[in-house]
């Protein structure tokens, strides 16, 4: 229901702003909004179409892993930890392995692998769902882990900074790691509290502490490298892990005497049907975001915040980076455009330019992920998923701004 009200609000607010704009003499505002609906619909379809090949590939690989027992083996390895985060999932259920593959792909910045494995995990979680149109607690926790966006290799952001002439493109690497870790931990804690799960469990505390220690170790290791070495290590590690998973699943299939080709084809067929199924959900959310932007509501919101901050006598340098923060939960491509616009306008090495990059890497596209993942299994009632996801986004945004002031 929350998503329903937010979706309606986008259109109502956009219409009000458009009427105001027309009264003030902007005769093209309605044309801009209508054009944005067509552009956004086209983008939604092209996005889904673009996912088809990747979904077919990775769902095919995952099917090989399932039949070879590799996914179940991952589930057994993760059972002590995941049973605390997902107490409603039966021990050693295959969904554990799929969720691990998804989370690991996100952490490594392997977006192409993350979405298909995430959709596979959602399908497996839906099998355990007694109310097929309502999100379960495990689904919500899994979605929050995705929307909080823990990523330790923000390769794309670093590449954009280099292309925009940053003197040291990797100078935002550690700030991004810190802010995305805070957002993820906040998302986990908020969701556990909302679901009335006790935090005072040794395995759970050890897991959260392990995440902090692991990221800290990575920060220390990458902090000792120069930018060229860091770029080489991240590129090699990401692609090695990606190819290693494919080869490992195929070899496991051969070991178990699985017909790996037939298994791949069986899984790949699911990729096409999944891509088609998410089109309406993508159209709905991207059109709403496009209308909101085209009406000028986003620009007005940013301007009001800037004036409010200045009236309070506070440092308003961060306001220039807020468009990226506001757009990030709504649209990944939109937030990327805001980040690039900030670097173009203020400079890649300016405070706003760096802040926009940190904001881009601190969280993920909450509404996009909710639309795609819940849409793939026809979930209508998302319960507290939107609230937990947006609260984690808010904490990630605040931490990103604070960390940027500390570093720069």
Per-residue pLDDT reduced to its tens digit, 225-279: 776 776 677 667 656 766 887 888 899 889 988 898 998 998 888 777 777 777 8
Structure-token pair, residue 331: 């649209």
- Whether the per-residue pLDDT at 108 is higher than 60: the answer is no
Residue-level pLDDT at 16: 92
Residue-level pLDDT at 3: 61
Cα–Cα distance for residue pair 115/109, rounded to 1 Å: 11
Structure-token pair, residue 384: 């507290």
Coil vs helix vs strand at 312 = coil
Structure-token pair, residue 262: 């037939």
- Whether the per-residue pLDDT at 144 is higher than 70: the answer is yes
Arithmetic mean of pLDDT over the chain:
80
134 has which bridge partners? Answer: 381
Residue with tokens 């969701």: 191
> 13 or 100: whose pLDDT is higher?
13
Structure-token pair, residue 268: 């790949």
For 380-392, how does the pLDDT look when each residue is reduced to its tens digit (9 = 90+)? 888 888 888 889 8
Residue-level pLDDT at 114: 73
CA 295 to chain centre: 26
This prediction has a pTM of: 0.69
Contact 119, 272 (CB under 8 A): no
Mean pLDDT for the stretch of residues 151-163: 70
Total residues belonging to the chain: 408
CA 214 to chain centre: 20
Residue-level pLDDT at 333: 63
Coil vs helix vs strand at 131 = coil
Residue-level pLDDT at 15: 92
For 171-218, how does the pLDDT look when each residue is reduced to its tens digit (9 = 90+)? 787 788 788 888 888 888 889 889 887 777 777 777 778 777 877 777
In 3D space, the residue among 393, 323, 282, 286 whose CA is nearest the CA of residue 48 turns out to be 282
Structure-token pair, residue 21: 């704009």
Cα–Cα distance for residue pair 54/63, rounded to 1 Å: 14
Mean pLDDT for the stretch of residues 45-49: 76
The fraction of the chain above a pLDDT of 70, given in percent, is: 87
For 113-135, how does the pLDDT look when each residue is reduced to its tens digit (9 = 90+)? 677 778 888 999 999 998 888 99
> 357 or 197: whose pLDDT is higher?
357
Residue with tokens 């940027």: 404
Residue-level pLDDT at 334: 66
Coil vs helix vs strand at 95 = helix
The fraction of the chain above a pLDDT of 90, given in percent, is: 6
Phi, psi for residue 192 in degrees, rounded to 5: -60, -45
> 93 or 127: whose pLDDT is higher?
127
Which DSSP string corresponds to 254-300?
HHTT--HHHHHHHHHHHHHHHHHHTHHHHHHHHHHHHHHHHTTHHHH
């Amino acid at each position: 229901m929350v998503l329903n009200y937010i979706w309606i609000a986008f259109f109502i607010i956009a219409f009000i702003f458009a009427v105001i704009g027309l009264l003030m003499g902007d005769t093209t505002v309605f044309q801009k909004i209508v054009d944005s609906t067509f552009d956004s619909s086209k983008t939604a379809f092209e996005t889904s179409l673009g996912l088809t090949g990747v979904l077919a590939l990775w769902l095919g690989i995952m099917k090989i892993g399932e039949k070879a027992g590799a996914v179940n083996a991952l589930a057994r390895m993760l059972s002590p930890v995941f049973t605390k985060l997902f107490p409603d999932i039966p021990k050693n259920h295959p969904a554990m392995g799929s969720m691990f593959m998804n989370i690991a792909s996100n952490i490594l910045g392997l977006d192409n692998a993350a979405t298909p494995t995430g959709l596979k995990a959602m399908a497996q979680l839906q099998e355990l769902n007694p109310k097929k149109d309502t999100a379960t607690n495990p689904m919500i926790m899994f979605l929050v882990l995705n929307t909080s966006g823990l990523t330790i290799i923000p390769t794309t952001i670093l590449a954009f900074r280099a292309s925009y002439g940053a003197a040291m493109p990797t100078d935002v690497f550690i700030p991004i790691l810190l802010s995305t870790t805070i957002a993820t931990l906040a998302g986990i804690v908020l969701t556990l509290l909302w679901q009335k799960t006790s935090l005072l469990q040794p395995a759970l505390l050890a897991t959260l502490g392990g995440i902090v220690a692991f990221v800290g170790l990575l920060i220390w290791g990458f902090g000792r490298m120069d930018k060229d070495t860091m770029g080489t290590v991240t590129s090699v590690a990401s692609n090695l892990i990606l190819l290693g998973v494919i080869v490992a699943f195929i070899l496991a299939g051969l070991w178990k005497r699985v017909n790996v080709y037939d298994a791949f084809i069986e899984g790949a067929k699911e990729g096409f049907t999944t891509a088609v199924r998410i089109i309406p959900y993508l159209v709905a959310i991207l059109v709403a975001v496009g209308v909101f932007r085209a009406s000028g509501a986003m620009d007005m919101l940013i301007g009001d915040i800037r004036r409010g901050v200045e009236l309070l006598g506070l440092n308003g340098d961060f306001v220039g980076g807020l468009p990226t923060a506001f757009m990030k939960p709504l649209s990944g491509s939109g937030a990327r455009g805001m980040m690039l616009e900030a670097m173009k306008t203020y400079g890649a090495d300016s405070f706003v330019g760096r802040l926009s990059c940190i904001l881009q890497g601190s969280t993920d596209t909450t509404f996009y992920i909710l639309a795609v993942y819940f849409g793939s299994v026809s979930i209508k009632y998302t319960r507290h998923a939107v609230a937990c996801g947006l609260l984690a986004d808010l904490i990630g945004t605040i931490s990103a701004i604070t960390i940027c002031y500390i570093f720069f």
